[in-house]
Structure formats: C-alpha cells, structure tokens
Structure 1
Amino acid sequence: MSVLALAGGVGGAKLANGLAAILPPGTLTIAVNTGDDFTHLGLTICPDIDSVTYALAGLNDTVRGWGMADESWAFMAALRDLGGEDWFNLGDRDLATHVLRTHLLRDAPLSAVTADLTARLGIKQAVVPMSDDPVASIIESDRGDLNFQDYFVRYQCAPRFHAIRFAGAAQARPAPAILAALDDPALEAIILCPSNPILSIGPILAVPGMRERIAARRVPCVALSPFIAGQAVKGPAAKIMGELGLPTTPATVATHYAGLIDGLVVDDADLGAGAPVGVAFHGTNILMRDPADQQRLAREVMAFARTLAQAGP
C-alpha cells in the first residue's frame, strides 16, 4: 500500500501530518507546491516545503500556523536596525534551514536536498517538491503582476485577484519521486489536501504531465474542501473565489477539480450543498485543531478512498 498526497500551505501540512502518522513509514509521498518559492537575501526560501517538513518533524508553530515553534527573532531585529528588508520574517531557528538548503543546492537538486533535510529531522515519509525545475506563481492583480510572496506577505493579499499564471511551468518536469509514486503498483489513493485549490494545488497540477497522470489514475482520487460554511478555514481562498465571482462552496471546489477527483470530503455544515455528477461527497468535521484531529480526518479520508475503490467506476 502507498499513498500520494498533494499539499501546500498550512491546511495541506496539517492533513499531510495526519496521513504521515497513520500510514506505515515509507508508504506516503507528499508532493509539495513550490510555486511560492523565492530567493530572499540570497537564500532559497521554500515556504510550503518547510511547513510540511516542520509539521512532520513536530517543530511547527501551531499558534502562528507557520514557521518553527519556540522561535526567536534576533536576526530580524538586527536586519531591521541595519535598514534591511524586513517585510518577510525569518526566525533564527528557521534561518538555519534556509542557509543549509541554499548551501546544499549548489551540488544537488531540490528534491535531493529536501530528502536530505527531512532525513536529518527523522521524517520517515517522503516530502518531495513538485519539480526540481523553478516554477513561480505570478498573481495578476489590480496592482499589476506580483510575485506570490509580494501578494501574500508584503501586501497581505489586499490586491484584487484577477488570475494566476505559473512562470516556467511549461519547461518543468515532475520530480522523479512523484512519477515513481504514480507508477507504484501498490498505490492505493491520491489525496488532494485541503490546500488553496488555486494558489497551492494549482501550481502542482500546472507541471506538465501531473494533471494528465492523475486523470489517468487507476486508484481513487479524493480532495478535501478548504471551506466551512462558505468561509476559508485559513488563508485567502474565500477572498479569491469571491473576486473571481465564484461561490465558496464544495461544489465549486469539485468543479475546479473536474476530471481529476472521484470524491470530495466536506464539512458537515456543507453536506447539503450538493455534489456535481460523478463526484461523491463525504461529510465530517474537517477542522483540524491538533494532531488528534489531523489523524482522525486522515483515517476518514483513507476510509472514504477505500470505499470508492470498492465501489469501482
């Protein structure tokens, strides 16, 4: 048995952590969005990879929702005193990850470096960047084209969202470990985590071959809604959907993933919203407050996927 999960952002990291806990070591591959990656102060920053890595290593800050727990900020204070760019916070402990990653990337691709760093932290599941090739999420907004971190962090998602494009995606290739997971005869399910469908899962699916390979799957593909009663659990998903004229409902999520998913896990509050033809809904409490919630939801997701597999096409 093996499972492939697509993840990005805090919600994706939470479910990935739950899946990692309930599945046997070495049976989960987590394909992580790298459209958010950027170079800052000469360092390669991979926010979504780090969110997943820190969650699986038990190092994440559960209060802020990003970065490492027990963080200090002496570096940022010193940088600010020198008049350096301080709009993107780098904690002292977190900084070590970026420095070492940047150093290792001189001699190895991102997937190898990520495997190295996760192994050093004792992580037993595979955390894999969506591609070793650079792909940059560019937000088209009422303030012009913005790099993702400018939109998300510097401007706090305030600009009106018009569209997103993925620079470099046409030349990118899926990371080898993702293709291996898709080809694994033991593959049981593909899970699209409750990440922002546009900002976090969208870049992964934009890598040539990813959407086609998932669409041609021989196992169930299950997605999770990022909404509860019309509101995003976290992040700007509801704001973006509203600016695109789309209702923040599970049906919208299911339509967005049309042709890719067999089932959608939604919150009990949204179970009556109705599912598009060909997509099964499963209602439960999708809010993940702690690791126990993450593992509970992961078990329900896997049980749902197995039910879909038994039902057949």
Structure 2
Amino acid sequence: MTTEQPTGQPTEQPTEQPTGPTSPTVTVVSGGVGAARFLSGLRDAIDPTQITAVVNTGDDTVLHGLSISPDLDTITYTLAGVTDPVRGWGLVDETWTAMGALERYEAVRPAGSAAATRWFNLGDQDLATHFYRTARLAEGASLTEVTEEIQAAWGLPIRLLPMSDDRRTTIVTTADHGDVSFQDYFVRLRHDVVTTAVRFQGPAALTQAARSALVDADIVVIAPSNPLVSIAPIRSLDGVDDLLGARRDSVVAVSPIVGGEALKGPAARMLTELGHEASVVGVARLYASIATALVIDPVDAHLADAIVAQGMECIVTPSIMSSPEIARELAATTLNAVHN
C-alpha cells in the first residue's frame, strides 16, 4: 500500500507487478477508448482472468433496427487486437459497402424519417456483431448474456459486463440543438457544440453481476474515461456511489485529463462547459468521495498538492498510453497504489 504524501509529492511506486497466482482480482469501471487501452495494459500486467470490466452502456443506441453498444464493442475489438490503428475504433481492414448502398434511398426518404441515415457509419464486419446482439436480445437474452457470448466468440479472457441490462440513455443538452442523444452529440454533431447539461434517462438498475464485481474485487479502478458521460452513467445507477464509497480505500482512478486536455474526445470541453475545472484537480473533485488515489501524468505533477488537498493520494506516472509497454506500466503502477 502506498503511503499518504501530505506534501503532495509524487508517490514512488515499486516496479514489481503482481502476477501469477498472487494477482489481485480487479474490476475496472469503464468507458470506451481510454478504458480499452488501459485494459490492454492491465491484461499484460496481471492474470487476465482476474479482470472484470463494468462498462458504460449510456452510449448505446438503436440504428437501422440494430442494437449497438459502442463502448462494449470498442473494448472487445481492442482486446481482440483487431481495432483499426488509424481511426482508433472499429475494425481493421473494414469495408463500408452496406453504408454506401444506403445512399440510393436518401432521395426517397420522407421528411422526419430516420431510415437509411449514414451519419453513424457501421462497417460491414462490425454489422455482424450488431446483427448477433439484436437477434439474441429479440430472443429474450439479457445484454449481460449476449455480451458474454460475444466475449467468448472473440476469445477474450477478461470478463466484460454491461452496467445494466436495462436502457439508461445519456442525454446531452446543447445550446443550439436542445436535447440530443449522446451519439447525436458525439458523432452527428461531432461534439462541436456547447453543452449546457447532461442527464441519464431510463429506470435502469445495476446488474447483479456488475454489483458483485464491484463489491468482491480486491481493487476497483476507474479507467481514464470521460468522467461526465462515460463514468457518470454508471455512477448514476442506484447504489453505485455508496458501494464505491464504502470501499474507497481500495478504489483508484486514472485521470483522463493530461495537461488540461483530454487525450481523446470532448472531456476537457465538457468539464469547462458544465462548470468543472478541466484539470486533474477537477477530476479529483469529481472522484474524491469514491476513490482514495488519483493517477496523473508527470506533466501535471505540479498539481499534486492540490489533489492531496481534495483528500486523495496523488500518484505520478506516465499515463499517455502510446505503447503497450507504457500501458502495462501504467496499469501496474495503478494497482500498486492500493495493492498490499
């Protein structure tokens, strides 16, 4: 266990990683791309069968009649090693024949119809995942059951759990477009609009499997995902914050903000627009009640005292996961922040 640094100086972390039979059980509270990269590093640092990810489904949507779970699929494809390295999402060597063929119908689409929309691209290989998920849900399977089947199809040793089997939709209120779904905000509007509020809609509950994963793990990690639209949907489910707060000493968060900017996506802009500080200190304020430590990049080391002032231990280590080695070291250091 690392010791508290009252002066806010970075905690020196041992280089040994817990491996083999001594690997702790770890549950990662996860969004999409940042969480996927962290999970890849964690898989290399400890026994992957000891890892569970509880994944945001507030981004889930239905398009062309298909049930789409972007964060679950991003993690699946990343861990399977088939993510497109250029785009950072979707499948490598993807083709877009089906989406291209929809152009034929745009001229005949009635006003107000959502048929044949192409602002959310679905690759031909990616469609197979959505076909399978949609068909199994229609047969009465839960999203948890379907996710386990998709995980097995891709041969993943890490367990992936949706936060809920119910629909819990992230709604973004914008200055110029009113209320829109998260995918409308993120993809159609390219998150290039002013955000005035975020809320989560739908009477969803944390699944029993996800609850057990959060209660029983030796360590809970909050992944470097957007605190407001990737982690907050999970926290919005009844009892989650109480559960994490009760075991706060074994919960550690990794900041998605480095040098005042998000490495990917609109996290920094959203923090500012919604009245938070777009810095590691702002992240600390959001997580202080549920996590004992915050992992930050060396570029933000000068803010260590301010993080400690929020009641959190500050761990400084390279957190820009530009290589598998850095991702592995980040994961190991994160675990060492709370691992005995």
Matched, 1:179 2:202: no
Q: Report the counterpart of residue 120 of structure 1 in structure 2.
A: 153
Which string of whole-angstrom CA distances, capped at 9 and with x for unpartnered residues, describes residues 68-89 of structure 1? Answer: 1111111111112332211001
Counterpart pick for 1:194 among 214, 224, 239 = 224
Instruction: Quote the sequence identity (%).
Output: 41
Distance 1:174 1:219 in 2: 22
Q: 1:149 aligns with which of 183, 187, 190?
A: 183
* 3-state secondary structure, aligned to 2:290: coil
- The structural deviation recorded for 1:231 is 1.1
Range with bigger deviation, 89-98 or 20-29:
20-29
**Letter matched to residue 185 of structure 2:** Y
Per-residue Cα deviation, 1:141-177 (whole angstroms, up to 9, x for no partner): 1121111111110001122111111001xx3221222
2:197 aligned with 1:167, yes or no?
Answer: no
**Residues 1:305 and 1:81: Cα distance change in structure 2 (over 3 Å):** farther
Give, in whole Å, the separation in 2 of the partners of 1:49 and 1:301. Answer: 22
Cα RMSD, aligned residues only: 1.3
Say if 2:124 is the partner of 1:92: yes
Alignment partner of 2:37 out of 3, 7, 14: 14
Label 1:24 to 1:229 Cα distance change in 2 as closer, same or farther (>3 A): same
Larger RCO, structures 1/2 (Cα 8 Å, 6+ apart): 2
Partner residue of 1:57 out of 80, 96, 113: 80
Q: Larger deviation: 38-47 or 103-112?
A: 103-112
Say whether the 8 Å CA contact 1:190–1:219 is kept in structure 2: no
TM-score normalised to structure 1 length = 0.93
Which one of the candidate residues 87, 103, 128 is aligned to 1:80? 103
Whole-Å Cα distance in 1 between the matches of residues 134 and 163 of structure 2?
18
> What is the TM-score normalised by the length of structure 2?
0.86
1:289 to 313, 322, 329: 322
Q: Which amino acid is 2:88 matched to?
A: G
Deviation at 1:22, TM superposition (A): 2.3
Structure 2 partner of 1:208: 238
Shift of 1:43: 0.1
Counterpart code for 2:137? L
Alpha-carbon separation, structure 2, partners of 1:97 and 1:196: 25
Structure 2 portions without partners, runs of 5+: 1-23, 107-115
